[in-house]
Amino acid sequence: MDPEAPATTSSVLPANLTNNSQCPDSEAWDWLYTMQPIYMSVICVLGIVGNVFVLLVFCLHKKACTVAEIYLGNLAAADLLLMCCLPFWAINVANSFEWQFGSVMCRLVNTGIKMNMYCSVYFVVLVSADRYIALVHAMSHGRMRRPWYAKLSCIAIWSLGVILSIPTLNFRAVEYIPQYTITACILRYPSYEAEVACDILLILLGFIIPVSVITYCTWKIIHALRRQVMDRFNAVNTERKATMLVMVVLIAFLLCWVPFHLVTLLDLVVRFQALSGCMLESVLDICNQIFTYLALSNSVLNPILYVIVGKNFRKKVKELLEQININGTKVNGSTRSQLSSTLKTFA
């Protein structure tokens, strides 16, 4: 089972291509073949529109972004990267997994999806760590919350995402699959050991470590808010508004991604033959598909949460609209003035 991308051949075709499964094909796949293209098309449109909107608000607003907004903006950029890659898979599924975009796009599209998996979770780590520092160690570690450090941290996360996506870039290939009579974009590992190592890397660096940090920071944040340790600061209301948005984003992220990684972990246990059985493999394959698309929906949820929960974000949107209206009025006034001057000259 390929945990890296939706609609990958090894996770979507009934007979697993990467672990040489001997189990028969399941009829339960038929409804997935029908639903996948529709679902991916919908979330692609919503995700691209939503995340572009978030980035425009953060980039065009006249005030500089806060540290939390820098992290949330980069999270939106990572989600937008994923949304730009998904249309290729939607077309791929609609064409019965016949890959039509060539070997280069096979590698690039899946590398982009893998980068999103790593970058998004670590941007969420940065967001949670920022809230933890703001509420728990505001005085002693205030220097760590400077925009310059935030930008350097984001560059480091993007670099880490590129490095961790190198195996996908190397091992993705377009090959003809005789048993399905299709030419598919698949993960072709050089050995079984390499496949297991990549899955362990994904679970460890993409799930266990970051989720542990997020859980710790979230617990500390909730504890700090309950004890109202920030009441003595004038900025308490602002910090709490930002924290509410971050908390909702964290919870949404965990709800969307934890089931996917748990299924990936169970699949790894099956590969080590600690558990076995065709029924179990079939259930894991179906769950992998369902939870993969649940994880993808997180990229659509974030912009919606910013608008619903983020009071500061809504304020930025309002100020940006006022800013655009003012600039438009100035341009129209200047144009009218130039036209009046021209008419006087020719009079």
Helix, strand, coil % in the chain, rounded to nearest 5: 75, 5, 20
Query: How do residues 203-259 score in pLDDT, each as one tens digit?
Result: 899 999 999 999 898 888 887 777 654 455 444 555 566 677 788 888 888 899 989
CB 281 within 8 A of CB 270: yes
* Residue 51 or residue 273, greater confidence: 51
* Residue 136 or residue 82, greater confidence: 82
Sequence-ordered list of residues with C-beta below 8 angstroms from that of 131, at least 6 positions apart, any chain: 68, 217, 221, 242, 243, 246, 247
Q: Identify the residue whose tokens are 């991308």.
A: 5
* Average pLDDT along the chain: 79
Fold of 28-320: Rhopdopsin 7-helix transmembrane proteins (1.20.1070)
CA-based nearest residue to 311, from 216, 232, 240 = 240
- Cα Rg, the chain, nearest whole Å: 24
Tally: H helices and E strands in the chain: 12, 2
Question: What are the CA-CA distances from residue 292 to residues 7, 37, 62, 155 (Å)?
Answer: 9, 14, 38, 27
Average pLDDT over every residue of 325-337: 60
Range in 84-93, 211-220, 283-292 with the lowest mean pLDDT: 283-292
Query: How do residues 4-29 score in pLDDT, each as one tens digit?
Result: 444 333 444 433 444 445 565 555 55
Phi and psi at 174, nearest 5°, equal: -100, 120
pTM, two decimal places:
0.81
Cα distance between residue 80 and residue 224, in whole Å: 33
What percentage of the chain exceeds 90 in pLDDT? 28
Q: Looking at residue 32, what is its pLDDT?
A: 64
Q: Identify the residue whose tokens are 């949460």.
A: 305
